[in-house]
Amino acid sequence: MMQTTIHQPSAHPKDETPDRGSDAETGPPKLNFPEGGSRAWSVVVGSFCISFCTFGYLNAYGVYQNYYSTHQLMDKSASTIAWIGSVQTCLLLGGGIIGGPLFDRYGATVIWPAAIAFVFSIMMTSLCKEYYQFMLAQGILGGLSDGIMFSPAMAAVSHYFHARRGAALGITVTGSSLGGVIFPIAMSRMFAIESLGFAWTFDLAFHHGKTEF
């Protein structure tokens, strides 16, 4: 009886054996960071301004709550009014869930629509009279637009710095501290001027804060 021998190829033929030495030498490509230059530092300045107008602006909510409790929302409790600022802050920090993937896909252009939405929320808040209107305009729309701006701004800085990343991000986040100083002072002074009214005070205080910066 004839026996048929079936040839099976070797699982690791000599001519197909990967050269592990060459892989170890090449490895993953190294990323080059500018670590400075006009473009890199301009990104830091821009991110600083975004931090100033988003996180810094939210630091002034205590002034808003004090005003709301004696004017438009005087029939609401302090804890109820505080929910507006709490929702806004939550969406600022959680907005990275939306802003992060959009930034990865489209780049820094995602900041422009969010900035327009933020200005729109400021304008709509100045016209609000009811609690739900403040929650929608200032709490939800303002918080989401802030978050979509803030997260890409922080991420963009890291694209230009590695060794100096800590210093660059440190400069960026100081914008929130400066905004936390300027906005409450501007709002307090303008709320004290009764002839301005809430709408003009709200709009002018925001622009006054940017002018002081």
CATH number of the domain at 106, please. Answer: 1.20.1250.20
pLDDT tens sequence across 7-53:
444 444 444 444 544 444 555 566 676 676 778 888 899 999 999 99
pLDDT for residue 62 is more than 70: yes
Does 25 fall in a domain?
no
Instruction: Determine, yes or no, domain membership for 13.
Output: no
For the chain, how many structural domains are there in total? 1
Query: What is the structure's pLDDT at 8?
Result: 43
Residue 4 lies in a domain: no
Give the whole-angstrom CA distance, residue 145 versus residue 112: 10
Residue 23 lies inside a defined structural domain of this protein: no
Q: What is the pLDDT of residue 17?
A: 46
pLDDT at 4 over 70: no
Residue 105 in any domain: the answer is yes
pLDDT higher at 176 or 196: 176
The angle formed by the CA atoms of residues 191, 195 and 201, to the nearest 5 degrees, is: 40
**Residue 21 in domain:** no
> How high is the pLDDT of residue 9?
44
Q: pTM (2 decimals)? A: 0.74
CA distances from 142 to 92, 116, 125, 165 (A): 8, 11, 9, 29
Question: For 144-188, what is each residue's pLDDT tens digit?
Answer: 999 999 988 888 888 888 877 788 889 888 999 999 898 888 888
Domain extent, residue 164, equals 36-212
pLDDT at residue 84 in the model: 95
The answer as to whether 12 is a domain residue is no
pLDDT at 26: 58
The predicted pLDDT at position 193 comes to 79
Answer whether residue 52 is part of any domain.
yes
